[in-house]
Structure 1
Amino acid sequence: MAVRLPRPHRFDVCAALAGLLGGLLLWGIGLATRPADEPIVLLDGRWPILLPLTLMAGCEVLRRTAPRTALLTGTAALTLDTVTQGSVATLIMFTDVVYAAVLYGTPASARRIPWITGLLTVAATVVPFAAWRVPEALLLGVAVGVVSFAPASTGLIVRNHRDAAEAARLRAEQTALLAEMDRTQAVVAERARMARELHDMVANHLSAIAIHSTAALSLDDPDTSKEALSVIRENSVEGLAEMRRLIGILRDGSGDREPAAAPTLDGLGALVDSARANGLDVALDAGHDQVPAPVELAAYRIVQESLTNALKHARPGRVTVRLARRDGSLTVEVSSPYGDRDGPRAPGSGAGLIGMRERAALLGGDFEAGPVQDPASADGRMWTVRAILPLSEGDPA
């Protein structure tokens, strides 16, 4: 199967036509580079000039699509031109072919051609001068340098600048891509953080509202209904306050008031009291000292979500919350009665466990949740949530 060469560039075709027409014009008026009586002129007469001129014009057409072929053919055409009276147009087109071979050729050609033309220039300078011992012999080296080494060096300089510009463009595109990836990851991380905060802040209150509203609707007891409505109102107000705090965080303090401070472990007592008001039998054992703020927030949210899950899923019985600082970490453990029941007292999405695991992972900690055997339990099983949150060095003890 024949290999089809790429279509020549329009500029190359125009350059070839301009060189050919210029050479024909010089040929028509009888202007040549050498007189007919020089010893080097082996092909006397005007007509032999046209053959290397036409070949060089064809090389100009291939200067971009096949630079190596153009250079080899052009070198042969220039050699043929030296045994005729010669044409200035042929020399000018050859310099452009050398320039294009370096600029558009392979990287190996771009490295070798300047070295080869440089060595030829040195040889054309030293050898004739050593043989003839006349200053005029140096002009031969100058001519070879102007025709070959100068365009090759120019092509190498232009190619280096072009490659540097392309590398800078690629680096700019890569930097923009990395910046976009960082922005996307930051947005995803912020959305995940907002989802955790929203879930942890309102899930407890909404679960209590759902459970007590169900009780109020199912029991025909005015006192029970009144108590349930009181709990519903209390959780509604607290949930609304938490939502306002989250909105304040999202607005970055641009509202009338600064957002409230993030919850700390000092608020665990109020959290447990709220869980007791919602019907849980909770025991708190918070044996811990001061811990860093990120660890405090994560521990508080893990306890909050665990109590919410106990409210929705646990069987009746004692729920135990334990916090202890040991071995450079804060251990949070929440245990609740585990066993079969008709179904959850309030609907859930399953995002709570995911959020707790993410909070522990962000601090480099460990998280596990599942049923464990407990002889002290009525049926021998408890649902235990355990998170180990590392403390950074230098925190106050």
Structure 2
Amino acid sequence: MARRLPRPHRLDVYAAAGGLLGGLLLWGIGLGTRRAADPIVLFDGRWPVLLPLFVTAGCELLRRTAPRVALLTATVALTLDTMTQGSLGTLLMFTDLVYAAVLYGTPASARRIPWITGLVTVLATVVPFAAWRVPEALLIGVAVGLVSLAPASTGLIVRNHRDAAEAARLRAEQTALLAEMDRTQAVVAERARMARELHDMVANHLSAIAIHSTAALSIDSPETSREALGVIRENSVEGLAEMRRLIGILRDSGGDLEPVAAPTLDGLGSLVEGARANGLDVELGTALDDGGGPVPAPVGLAAYRIVQESLTNALKHASPGRVTVCLARRDGSLTVEVTSPYGDRDGPRAPGSGAGLVGMRERTELLGGTFEAGPATSAHGGLWSVRAALPLTDAVATPDPVRTAARGGPA
């Protein structure tokens, strides 16, 4: 099937109609571009002028949809028009077709047409002057330049500006897309950090509440129930206070709520004492000399959270026995290792979501460290070991979401 040409653009129809009506008006009043006595006029009379006029007007309909075909056809029509008395309408429509061929044509046409029209203008200037040796011969080159080179150059300038504007628009869209991607990634990363903080801050208290409430319900002893209720109340109050402070910061409500201070390694003693109060037999050992300099804040926070989550997991899953917490500075990194008895319990003492191990691994990887967790064997039986190596040099300063929210940053 033959491919149908697209419909002409509305403005092209107006240009064709305007050029044709203007040419007919000039033809009606007898105004041409040449006299009948000129040697170049081969077709004398008024009627031969109409054929190039109608052909050029038809080419105007194709100035956007088929600009190269329109220009080639109009060139033939203009050549025929030069052999008649000529029409100013045909000449003006030809200049518009040259302009449109450069503006709407292919990139190759936009490059070649200005060079071709420039070469034709030079030849139209040099050849007549060399043949006739009169200054008036230079006017032929000027006329050819106005009809061909001037509209071609104008079309090239407009096309370059249009391409530059389109490239700027595309760059702006790309920049906006990249900014949106960065914003989305920042939000996702911030939500992941907030999820780790919420889990580490609340899971310990809720696990203790679940375990001691189970003991209070299962053991028929007023003294045991009283002790369990005391632990439940203490963990409830502490967990509720931490949640209120964190929610107040996230809502930016101000008031009497103080920012939650980021925990450090100095708070490990209190953390271990809290675990002992919840029923764990915990032993803390540290080998941190001051010769290596202070531990960077991101590393200290990650180590504290890893120990906190490991103690929470031990409270929920460990078998009876001693839990050991060891921190040591080795080979430019802070090594955190927590071991607990493993293998003799039928099920967890409190339900868990499995997000704790994911959070510890994420904290370690954000600092460029290594993380391992799994069962191990020793002379005293099966153990569950959690080990993280956190680099102390060139530590990634991962922002604490709680502090970031307190400063008014993204939450």
Q: TM-score range by the shorter chain?
A: over 0.9
Q: Within the alignment, does 1:390 sit opposite 2:391 as a pair?
A: yes
The offset of 1:244, in angstroms, is 2.8
Partner of 1:287: 287
Partner of 1:370: 374
What TM-score, normalized to structure 1? 0.96
1:308 paired residue among 282, 306, 312: 312
The offset of 1:245, in angstroms, is 3.3
The offset of 1:254, in angstroms, is 2.5
The offset of 1:260, in angstroms, is 3.1
User: What does 1:223-372 align with in structure 2 at a 5 Å threshold?
Assistant: 223-251=223-251, 254-289=254-289, 290-372=294-376
CA distance in 2, matches of 1:106, 1:323: 70
**Contact 2:121–2:142 at 8 Å: present in 1 too?**
yes
CA distance in 2, matches of 1:143, 1:393: 73
CA distance in 2, matches of 1:108, 1:30: 40
CA distance in 1, matches of 2:71, 2:263: 78
Select between 242-251 and 140-149 the one with higher mean Cα deviation.
Answer: 242-251
CA 1:126/1:340 → structure 2, altered by over 3 Å: closer, same or farther?
A: farther
What TM-score, normalized to structure 2? 0.93
Partner of 1:214: 214
Partner of 2:399: none
- The aligned amino acid for 1:300 is Y
CA distance in 1, matches of 2:99, 2:255: 67
Summarize deviations over 1:157-205 as a string: whole Å, max 9, x none.
1111111111111111111111111111111111111111000001001
The offset of 1:392, in angstroms, is 2.9
Other structure's SS at 1:176 match: helix
Summarize deviations over 1:67-100 as a string: whole Å, max 9, x none.
1111111111111111111100000000000000
Select between 299-308 and 331-340 the one with higher mean Cα deviation.
Answer: 331-340
CA distance in 2, matches of 1:327, 1:127: 87
Summarize deviations over 1:126-185 as a string: whole Å, max 9, x none.
111111111011000000100000000000111111111111111111111111111111
The offset of 1:12, in angstroms, is 0.2
Partner of 1:80: 80
Other structure's SS at 1:321 match: strand
Other structure's SS at 1:5 match: coil
Partner of 2:182: 182
Matched residues, number: 392
CA distance in 2, matches of 1:340, 1:257: 44
Summarize deviations over 1:335-363 as a string: whole Å, max 9, x none.
11111422110010111011111111111
Partner of 1:168: 168
Other structure's SS at 2:329 match: strand
The offset of 1:257, in angstroms, is 3.7
CA distance in 1, matches of 2:136, 2:164: 41
User: What does 1:117-196 align with in structure 2 at a 5 Å threshold?
Assistant: 117-196=117-196
CA 1:253/1:330 → structure 2, altered by over 3 Å: closer, same or farther?
A: farther
Identity %: 83
**Contact 1:71–1:101 at 8 Å: present in 2 too?**
yes
The offset of 1:249, in angstroms, is 3.8
Partner of 2:403: none
- The aligned amino acid for 1:316 is P
Other structure's SS at 2:389 match: strand
CA 1:385/1:394 → structure 2, altered by over 3 Å: closer, same or farther?
A: closer
- The aligned amino acid for 1:259 is P
CA distance in 2, matches of 1:334, 1:280: 13
Partner of 2:96: 96
CA distance in 2, matches of 1:342, 1:334: 21
**Contact 2:296–2:395 at 8 Å: present in 1 too?**
no
* Higher RCO (CA 8 Å, separation ≥ 6 residues): 2
**Contact 1:253–1:259 at 8 Å: present in 2 too?**
no
Partner of 2:25: 25
Other structure's SS at 1:33 match: coil
**Contact 2:263–2:304 at 8 Å: present in 1 too?**
yes
Q: Within the alignment, does 1:115 sit opposite 2:111 as a pair?
A: no
The offset of 1:247, in angstroms, is 2.5
CA distance in 1, matches of 2:372, 2:65: 65
Select between 248-257 and 25-34 the one with higher mean Cα deviation.
Answer: 248-257
Partner of 1:205: 205
- The aligned amino acid for 1:210 is A
**Contact 2:245–2:257 at 8 Å: present in 1 too?**
no
CA distance in 1, matches of 2:92, 2:15: 11
CA distance in 1, matches of 2:395, 2:340: 34
Other structure's SS at 2:34 match: coil
CA distance in 2, matches of 1:197, 1:214: 26
Select between 160-169 and 212-221 the one with higher mean Cα deviation.
Answer: 160-169
- The aligned amino acid for 2:387 is R
Q: Runs in 1 of length 4+ with deviation above 4 angstroms?
A: none
- The aligned amino acid for 2:36 is A
CA distance in 1, matches of 2:318, 2:197: 23
Partner of 2:48: 48
Summarize deviations over 1:7-34 as a string: whole Å, max 9, x none.
1101101110111111111111111111
CA distance in 2, matches of 1:365, 1:349: 24
